Amino acid sequence: MLILVGSGLRESQLTREAEEAIKGADIVIVETYTMPSSKWLPTAVRKLNSNVREASRSELEELSSNIVELAFKLKVVLVVPGDPLIATTHSSLVVEGLKRGVEVKVVSGISGPCSVESLLGLHFYKFGRTVTVPGPWRGVGAEEAALGLLGNLCHDLHTLLLLDVSPEGLSLSPSRAVKELKESLRRLIGTKLDELMNMMVLLVSVGENTIVKHFTLGNADSIPDVDVGSLVVPSRLHVSEREFLRYAYSVPEDIMMSHNKLLQGFDACSAYSEALRVMYSSSA
């Protein structure tokens, strides 16, 4: 049997169902590369089961067939931070197991993206496409992320920008992510980027302690130095969203109103069309 267990974002979020699955396993495999802030996880799992092996992303992908093979004879538990099926590596493992006739069970956990969106108090149904800002180890720019942002702004939707994680488990820093995003936006929409420099961006970290900070796209020097985080670019904020940000995280009303006014006057759909034209012409 193969059981995928989501551990949540910290030890206190391990559910009773997750703990029972770990305790009853013949072998437990722990991976932490999808969330660098989850270094606590192996220690927490060893409190529940002594037969624990840690696996990197490459090891997990290379061992997927071995894991499924083991699951024919043993109860194998794969413990991952957050929710187990957010990452495609884990969902492909489920598919491989089911294809080969292995019994598979999933124990859900609290995910990082869901926590980021809910803790900000922004309307959940106003979030558009989630994008990832790639790290320099990918050898590509952030054009896809920039395109996703512009498309969401065109439809008046919030954007969650995840920060890439290297094969060694290092997260792209928020300041580097903003730099990469601005450079890609400049390549796609040229001088139109100047109109967005005062657009508000939120930095959110949901590890042991929740951290929410605000800054503008053009003021990257003010970005706090956090180990792991995500960025959120809000669309025009509803009054209830502004109230939540003001009272929960001390975001000044004048900054949010300025953000709304900026987006009201910015032709996001025209910028999105221009970005698409540049993307397709450069790849032709």
Task: Give me the CATH number covering residue 209.
Answer: 3.30.950.10
Residue ranges for the binding site?
A: 9, 83, 86, 111-112, 163
d(CA 97, CA 78): 13
**Residue 230's closest CA among 173, 181, 155?**
173
* 48 and 144 in a common domain: no
* 248 and 118 in a common domain: yes
pLDDT at 36: 67
Residues of the chain with pLDDT under 50: none
Tens digits of residue pLDDT in 104-163: 999 999 888 899 999 999 999 999 999 999 998 888 889 999 999 999 999 999 999 999
* 47 and 15 in a common domain: yes
* 212 and 129 in a common domain: yes
Instruction: Report phi then psi at 142, rounded to 5.
Output: -100, 30
- Domain end position, chosen among 92, 110, 128: 110
Tens digits of residue pLDDT in 197-219: 999 999 998 877 788 999 999 98
Residue ranges for the binding site for S-adenosyl-L-methionine?
A: 9, 83, 86, 111-112, 163
* 129 and 75 in a common domain: no
* 69 and 186 in a common domain: no
Domain span holding position 88: 2-110
* 265 and 195 in a common domain: yes
Strands 200-206 and 230-233 turn out to be antiparallel
Instruction: Report phi then psi at 205, rounded to 5.
Output: -125, 130
pLDDT at 99: 93
Q: Are 83 and 6 in contact (CB under 8 A)?
A: yes
* 204 and 81 in a common domain: no
